[in-house]
Amino acid sequence: MDDLSRFCCQNSECPDYGKRGGENLSVCGRYGPDKQRRMLRCRTCKARFSERKGTPLFGSTLPGEKVRCVLEHIAEGCGVRKTSRLVEVHPDTVTRYSRLAGDHARTLHDELVAFSPEHPRGAV
């Protein structure tokens, strides 16, 4: 079974909009390279959306790799200016993504960062 507990309906008109738990959601298809990305469907409002919708990666203008880098630096405690210099993006972009990430940051971090914070890499 797919675990959809961290997803919620993305249709702002839907009574279940923003409610996590996944009981109203089901997987209705897959897309992307190797069909890794799921399309979700809300039983309540019949809306379909990508599992990426509602995360900072969806519709982002930066490549996912850059966003991952930005969030990784932020998560490591780098300031906006330092992050912008290291990742080579505009400081405003860093601010925007770190704000966008908000409560998604932890989920994203768990999802995208291959190493565990408990086993840090050596000094970079």
Q: How far is the CB of 23 from Zn ion (least distance, A)?
A: 11
Residue 44 makes contact with Zn ion by CB under 5 A: yes
Residue that is written with structure tokens 């960062």 in the block = 113
Tokens, residue 94: 């860093």
C-alpha angle with apex 103: 38 to 88, nearest 5 degrees?
85
Applying CB under 5 A, among 4, 25, 42, 108 the residue interacting with Zn ion is 42
Question: Counting contacts by CB under 5 A, is residue 27 touching Zn ion?
Answer: no
Question: CB-wise, 17 or 95, nearer to Zn ion?
Answer: 17
**Chain Cα centroid distance, residue 49:** 14
Q: How far apart are CA 80 and CA 19, in angstroms?
A: 31
C-alpha R_g of the chain: 16
Region of 34-42, 72-80, 99-107, 115-123 interacting with Zn ion (CB under 5 A): 34-42
40 is a contact residue toward Zn ion (CB under 5 A): no
Stated as kind and residue range, the H or E segment containing 106 is helix 104-112
In the region spanning residues 3 to 22, those forming contacts with Zn ion, defined by CB under 5 A, are 9, 11, 14, 16
- Choice between 9 and 67, CB closer to Zn ion: 9
Residue written as tokens 């190493």?
115
State yes or no: residue 45 binds Zn ion (CB under 5 A): yes
Residues that bind Zn ion (CB under 5 A): 9, 11, 14, 16, 42, 44-45
